[in-house]
Structure 1
């Protein structure tokens, strides 16, 4: 459990500790991240409104902490607005529970998610080793950006969303990817555009807006500079290749 004011949920904590669970309490997001890294918990109960790093940011980092291993995050919070609930679930949390719930309801939800997680991992391969903090931040930033390619994101916004600051995030990208954050965004937008060109019938303007270009003309210019052909030429060649492959397979 990660909550900066555990005294406000004393009855819920007592109910958890009365069960055959090993309960570890962290009173800040940074402390919670360290505990999760060391203890590799089966489930995390996470508050939203915390100083320094909020629960949404921490949730993004926890999802990248141990690739290949299910570690369900359940928000347990007084942040009750619809916007906050939807934001929490969109970060990858499996449940969003209000602190006003009864101890019995909390226990029921925890048991359900523990059972689902165990069922899903019985035949899994051995878990990968936990990653270092920089790798976690990098993966979290890439996921965050990938889900918002249509948006105009500043370096400050991206860094804050993954629990770091702009200069540190820039250094992580340069050291581990060999490019700047915005260089990576540009490449990711063009990679996504190639996917959309070959798997959809979207027009050029729609594709441009989907991946964050202001117009089809700007998209076409960037695409041609990077790949040497226009988006239309790329789509036509990909379609011809697919038709040729299908003909060969039938033969």
Structure 2
């Protein structure tokens, strides 16, 4: 029995899909159930399931946030996550797939269709391993939240957002996220973000021919003037001077260490 595929269902109302769960068990697959995202993440780390069936509309932490957190646990990243949900808008389906879900199935599907899709993804997926980081150290819940926040902000360098929005999108609250950055990174959330934006601007200056306004907008500054001031303050040279020095193969003294 232990060699049979293990499926984790994360759904706040599993009683509404009782017939689907029973169909899965009839295939002699092991099925575990978590009724919220926090419990689901704990069970995924402890059990290393072969596949996760995930609802979208759950209270407090929704399915999209759960998927984002799962991706920050190195040994759980390869587990296929299939959305099994009644959330059927085009936007929700696209968001689920763009976040890394491998399939999107509606709860009113035929049981045979669910079995067929699960069977395909079980065949394609590698078996999960215990949840440890790349260096063999177990990943803590704080590690997961911090990494998810950093990854999310790197993807949104051009956007304006509040601390509350980022915290919500990684399943926590603003004070906890702020404390994590101070304790683990030695800086504030927005100081870290500013550094990331400026580091990305160095790459854009060196590797592209984009103008200053385009670079400024691409990394979240309102104007080329604001960007130039921030860059000169941090790097000791203007963006134009930095680009010219890189193009001419000259060294540029930007000795302050990269935060994070």
TM-score (norm 1): 0.88
- Output the CA distance in 2 between the equivalents of 1:65 and 1:174: 22
Distance apart, 1:118 and its partner CA = 2.0
Q: Which of 40, 50, 53 pairs up with 1:42?
A: 50
Aligned equivalent of 1:205: 213
Provide the rounded CA distance (Å) in 2 between the counterparts of 1:21 and 1:200. 52
The aligned counterpart of 2:225 is 217
Any gaps of 5 or more consecutive residues in structure 1? 243-251
Cα distance in 1 for partners of 2:136, 2:56 equals 28
Find the counterpart in structure 2 of residue 247 from structure 1: none
Quick check: 1:67–1:128 contact (8 Å CA) kept in 2?
A: no
User: d(CA) in 2 for partners of 1:127 and 1:117?
Assistant: 23
CA-CA distance at 1:128 after TM superposition: 4.5
Output the aligned Cα RMSD.
2.1
**Residue 111 of structure 1, CA deviation:** 2.1
Q: Report how many residues are paired.
A: 238
How far apart are residue 115 of structure 1 and its match? 2.2
Are 1:94 and 2:102 matched, yes or no?
A: yes
1:198 Cα shift? 1.8
1:25 and 2:33 matched: yes
Summarize the Cα distance change of 1:105–1:240 in structure 2 as closer, same or farther, 3 Å threshold.
farther
Which TM-score applies when normalising by structure 2?
0.85
- Secondary structure at 1:174 match in 2: helix
> Is the Cα contact below 8 Å between 2:86 and 2:106 reproduced in 1?
yes
Using the alignment, how far apart are the partners of 2:46 and 2:199 within structure 1? 36
CA change 1:240–1:110 in 2 (3 A) is: farther
Match of 1:73? 81
The answer as to 2:115 corresponding to 1:104 is no
Gaps of 5+ in 2: 1-8, 251-260
Deviates more, 1:201-210 or 1:134-143: 201-210
Note closer, same or farther for the CA distance 1:7–1:40 as it changes in structure 2 (3 Å cut): same
Relative to structure 1, the CA distance from residue 132 to residue 229 in structure 2 (aligned partners, 3 Å threshold; closer, same or farther) is same
Structure 2 residue corresponding to 1:63, chosen from 64, 71, 91 = 71
